[in-house]
Structure 1
Amino acid sequence: MSVIVYKIGYGFDPFVHQATLDLIIKNGFAEPKSLYYIGEYVLELFAFNFLPISLIWVNKLFIPLLAAILLPLATIRALTALNLKNSALTILLLLILPYSFFIVTTPQALAYLYLLLIIIISLDYNATKDKAALIAINLLALASFVTQPIAGIPAILFAVITSIQATKLKKSKTLNYIIYTSLVFLLPLIFYFLNLNLNPVANVSYNSIFNTFNFPSFFTDPTIPAKEGIILNFIYLIKNNFAFIVIILALFGFFFAKKINLTRQYFYFSLGLFTSYLLTSSLNFSFLIDYEQKDFANRILYISSFFLLPYILVTLNWIAKKTINQNTFIKTSILTFFAILITTSLYLSYPRHDNYFNSRGYSTGELDIEAVSWINTDAGDTNYVVLANQQVSAASLREYGFAKYYKANNEQIFYYPIPTGGTIYQLYLDMVYLRPEYTTIEKALDLVGVDTGYFVLNKYWWAFDKIRDEAKLEADSFKVFGNEDVIIFKYKKKSTNN
């Protein structure tokens, strides 16, 4: 659906990786060279070279198609190995779980896909001891590691512990304890030293461990929305209490798992990663902007929930089995209810703007592309810097790739803001949240050593009218696109102003 709705592209990261792939095709490499992400780039470039479609379409379709094909096939094989019937209905019921990870192509999404495949294939291996399944687990773990380490490290540890159990070593229990301990501390330590390297005065906030969930309300105070109509209230009843739903499904599955001799290692991995999540949440990632501070920790939480999938799968299979054996009326009622849940999951998997939530999931549009093209033409051979939101920056990446960098304060600064922190992005936020003053633009000009700057304002931005009117007071000129859907304000450094 994202391919249909977001014709140019969705999010920001896919544009970065698209630009990187274009650079690799052009130059044969991309700097800085990194072990990570090559797990995705190799596959996408392979598909581009052997399929009659453009790289843009490879990037759009890669993860959605892989997930839609591989996850059901692996699940059917696993259920068959466990001698569990009704696999088709079970897979349909799995769609009640949101799948927003797989609507766009990013290395993180591919690493998540690898990890989920590892977990599902391990069900097959534990039941059949098929060596091909064990080989697949180890290969996918390596692929996950060279794609994105946050998912790759747990994948490697899970593959190692599965391989150890296959060898039946005498000291396997000791090795298992070492792996489970590593699972808890390895990612927090890596993040700590990464943060310390980027910010020598990084600190740890132990209070945030306990504030992460607000434990009492999280476990004893479920949210029941009642402000809107029945449909929206139901959707957010599911959304706000999704953690409870997952836990309940997993607990039932944990009980049923005894009947099919399902190993407890999934539970141990989930618990270990949840502890790792709590430890990571105590870190202050000062090199990230405010709304991305919890992003790294949340990824560990998602991975922790992935290891509950075997138990959820068993529960849903039990529901499918019981449903099939009911009379027509009860069967239809149950299936209708799950159809509503699946529709709810679809709604929650995409950006939305309703009376309960505004995800601000604005996509890059045609006018954004027109705007960056106009700026490029207007500037000509002149060096310049642009203050704009991330979707305009995405448009610049789509059209011109990594065209300009400036060296300042011993770092390379991209000429458009990158929404992972940095001075340029903060200056843009100052323009839209404080006041669009020339002095703010001047800071950007002085930082990168140029005389020309542009400020791009989108109509959907909060307080658009106020920002527009104030920006006109100090800008040297401005250019309007559409019905003021995008406005570009141009500034020249005062000392060079004619």
Structure 2
Amino acid sequence: MTEQWKELAVQGALVAAILGAHFLNAGPLIMGFLSIFAMLTQGYALGPRLLRNPSALLGTAWGFLATLGMLMLTRGALFYAGMLLDGPGEALALAITLIAGGVWLSICRGQKTAGQKIHEPLDKEKSILSVLAISLSVFAAALIGWAAFRSGTTNAIRTPWPLLPSWVLPLIALQWTFALASAWRIRRTVISAVQIGCAMASTALLAPLLYRIGYGFDGFLHVAGERVLLATGTLLPKPPYYMGQYVFVTWLSKLMDFDVASVDTWLVPAAAAVLIPAALALVIGRERQKAAMLPALILMPLSAFVATTPHGFASVLGIAALLLCIRTEERMNSRSLPLIFALWALLTHPLVGLPVLVCVFMAIVSESALAKPWRIAASAMLAITAGFSVPLVFGAATAFGSGAGVSFHLSELTKPEIWSGLMASWVPWVGNRYALWAETSVWAEKLLPWITILFAGLGTWRATKSSRNTAVSNPPWFLAAGAAVLAAVVLKGAGDFSFLIDYEKGNYADRLFLVAWFLLLPAAVPELGRWLCKARMARLASRWAVLASVGILAAGMSYASLPRHDAVTPSRGWSVGYADIEAVRLIHEDSEGRPYTVLANQSVSAAAVRTFGFLRYHDDVFLYPIPTGGELYKLFLRASYEGPEREVMSLAGALGGSRLVYFVVNDYWWKANELSEAAEASANRSFLIRDGAIRVFRYDLDIPAQSDTSAVK
């Protein structure tokens, strides 16, 4: 029996074992063991199909990740097909994935690992330096994590930086500079990847540890949706996206017997710190002189990895897919890996996944057997399509009558103020406010996209120059990013997002600008890495300047990754505090089982979703306002700015299908005292939470106003 037939026989046995264990009602422990064993086995077999002469460990690791991606795509397909992702759905999804892997094994031939190149052993000095470098990087990340855990809070805060010790940012900067210095001295890709992973983790782990209740707003909604999916096996109505994250979080939660919220909280920070450096290390391969390319990942916006959202998770998958498209040592037999990650990103968030997927096809076409002129033309068309894919999808949604469609008024682009505003937002300039570090961080944040553009341009020029006299054509990353920028300008200047509230209408365009940044990374990271490698041979003063520049960029981008409230960047948002949770619990108890509607800000609404989930809807209106342009949120704004009149409360009760309405005022609202006085006169009863940190006003629309203040500790 040939090796290929043996592999297929093993795959068949695994499928039979998975299905048999399900029909025999095997416990979760046995099913979990069989699942991991089956995925590792398939990963081991797929490794030589994915990589060129891999080691057993490297091939199995990336084969496992490919199998994991296939499993999540299968789970997503079954979800949209109407199947419940419970016991039978779990077993069927894994069986289909194993069968698909068997088909892959039967079609593709792998290369045997025998005879592969053996790493040149490190001498004693470099062995000691390697252990020391990894140990110090891990210790620094652990020390920062300990400091963040000790500084964690359940209070509502604007910015977490005053809570942290002053040495955290310098230590983050030192991690990046130390990683570059180690790469110059030791020149081992794996060691550099571990050090950069620790440096990224030092920033990514801050939000999960500092914000004890949760960070942001969207994450609470996603966790609530994941809880419903885990409990029932489905979601109704079915969301058109986000499922790439939902099916993975629920699968991992069930497999490891972890709480959904815990898995969700750590998903993006952990995935970014592991997957992105590993992807770049894979394409660099064993070329020791290129280990200094890993610190070039400083070009990434670290703010994308501090919190788990579908957009953040899709960004991690998309960046990994794009980095795997870099042409270096030809470590991959095919482009299957980036294609799987791009499809997974598309299932998670189309705004990131769709441009990335088209760009992966662009990279595949650029390496195809087509004649060079045809390759160049096809790649250019795909690059333009990738950039404009998001507006095209929005336009198609409008044509089909979707409520989330966008109307385009292209005449708006002729207005000078549109372009002047865009140009002003792109210029890396801040006023002199005599706040050195606050301005330095803004300069780092503003300059990093331009630095990325500079090195992407240099990389594109170098690739074009080197391919003129060869049959090789390089993917037009710069063209794809430029098309995405132009598409973002169209969305920002001419897009009419009528289904969103005012301050969210620019989010889609801003995210598309971020996607354009991602699309430059395959051209910019290798070029910056080449310069960093050359800097090793520069003069001592130049080397110190390079190290200092990397450290300042790292500290500035880490500081910008979380909310700031300083002389240059005043944060307007507040996190969810424990007082918000006490308020929603008090409201629920005070209602005594009666239907009620609440007018509150997004922090209180997030606390309600965290505490009670999606408790009650009335004609698609949630009982708390969700700030996505809904009528209930508009009534909250009306009550906050114009006054909490009973007429407004009656309208809110009609929307929420209740005769009992609550109005919540947080003390950090600039009109808190004025609003509270007005509400005291119109409400039936009021409550104080934590000595006035929050005031809750009860409006019983069937009873005339009569105020009665009750203190709640």
**Given the two structures, how large is their TM-score scaled by the length of structure 2?**
0.64
Structure 1 unaligned spans of 5+? none
SS of match in other structure, 2:668: coil
Please say if 1:271 is aligned against 2:475.
no
Which segment is superposed worse, 271-280 or 10-19? 271-280
SS of match in other structure, 1:214: helix
Which segment is superposed worse, 190-199 or 333-342? 190-199
CA contact (8 A) 1:451 1:496 kept: no
**What is the match of residue 318 of structure 2?**
115
Within 1, Cα distance between the matches of 2:570 and 2:541?
A: 38
**What is the match of residue 246 of structure 1?**
452
CA contact (8 A) 2:680 2:697 kept: yes
Deviations 1:378-405 (A, max 9, x none): 1121001001111111111111111100
Q: Superposition pairs for residues 45-444 of structure 1, below 5 Å? A: 45-80=250-285, 83=287, 85-87=289-291, 89-95=292-298, 97-124=300-327, 127-128=329-330, 130-132=332-334, 134-169=335-370, 172=375, 175-195=378-398, 197-198=402-403, 202=407, 204-208=409-413, 211-214=417-420, 217-218=423-424, 222-257=428-463, 263-281=474-492, 282-407=494-619, 412-444=620-652
Provide closer, same or farther for how the CA distance between residues 26 and 299 of structure 1 changes in structure 2, counting only shifts above 3 A: same
Provide closer, same or farther for how the CA distance between residues 319 and 185 of structure 1 changes in structure 2, counting only shifts above 3 A: closer
> Pick from 683, 693, 706: which aligns with 1:475?
683
Q: Report how many aligned residue pairs link the two structures.
A: 490
CA contact (8 A) 2:299 2:525 kept: no
Deviations 1:458-480 (A, max 9, x none): 12222222222222221211111
Within 1, Cα distance between the matches of 2:423 and 2:338?
A: 38
Identity of aligned residues (%): 27
Provide closer, same or farther for how the CA distance between residues 290 and 423 of structure 1 changes in structure 2, counting only shifts above 3 A: same
Provide closer, same or farther for how the CA distance between residues 184 and 104 of structure 1 changes in structure 2, counting only shifts above 3 A: closer
Alpha-carbon shift at residue 161 of structure 1 (Å):
2.7
CA contact (8 A) 1:94 1:316 kept: no
Please say if 1:466 is aligned against 2:674.
yes
Provide closer, same or farther for how the CA distance between residues 222 and 98 of structure 1 changes in structure 2, counting only shifts above 3 A: closer
Greater C-alpha radius of gyration = 2
Which segment is superposed worse, 208-217 or 247-256? 208-217
Deviations 1:430-458 (A, max 9, x none): 12222222222121112233110011111
Deviations 1:405-437 (A, max 9, x none): 001xxxx10110111111100111112222222
CA contact (8 A) 1:93 1:316 kept: yes
Alpha-carbon shift at residue 242 of structure 1 (Å):
4.3
Which segment is superposed worse, 191-200 or 345-354? 191-200
* Greater RCO (Cα-Cα under 8 Å, separation 6 or more): 1
Deviations 1:143-173 (A, max 9, x none): 1121111112112212323333444245555
CA contact (8 A) 1:61 1:105 kept: yes
Which segment is superposed worse, 210-219 or 11-20? 210-219
Structure 2 unaligned spans of 5+? 1-205, 468-472, 707-713
CA contact (8 A) 1:36 1:146 kept: yes
**Given the two structures, how large is their TM-score scaled by the length of structure 1?**
0.90
SS of match in other structure, 1:480: strand
CA contact (8 A) 1:96 1:345 kept: no
Within 2, Cα distance between the matches of 1:199 and 1:263?
A: 37
Give the counterpart letter for 1:254 in structure 2. T
Provide closer, same or farther for how the CA distance between residues 237 and 181 of structure 1 changes in structure 2, counting only shifts above 3 A: closer
Alpha-carbon shift at residue 255 of structure 1 (Å):
3.8
Provide closer, same or farther for how the CA distance between residues 260 and 459 of structure 1 changes in structure 2, counting only shifts above 3 A: farther
Within 2, Cα distance between the matches of 1:219 and 1:384?
A: 43
Alpha-carbon shift at residue 35 of structure 1 (Å):
4.9
**What is the match of residue 186 of structure 2?**
none
Provide closer, same or farther for how the CA distance between residues 211 and 141 of structure 1 changes in structure 2, counting only shifts above 3 A: farther
Alpha-carbon shift at residue 139 of structure 1 (Å):
1.1
CA contact (8 A) 1:36 1:148 kept: yes
Which segment is superposed worse, 441-450 or 370-379? 441-450
Deviations 1:279-322 (A, max 9, x none): 22211101100011111122221111111112321343134224
Provide closer, same or farther for how the CA distance between residues 161 and 248 of structure 1 changes in structure 2, counting only shifts above 3 A: closer
Within 1, Cα distance between the matches of 2:646 and 2:277?
A: 55
Within 1, Cα distance between the matches of 2:448 and 2:368?
A: 39
Alpha-carbon shift at residue 116 of structure 1 (Å):
0.7
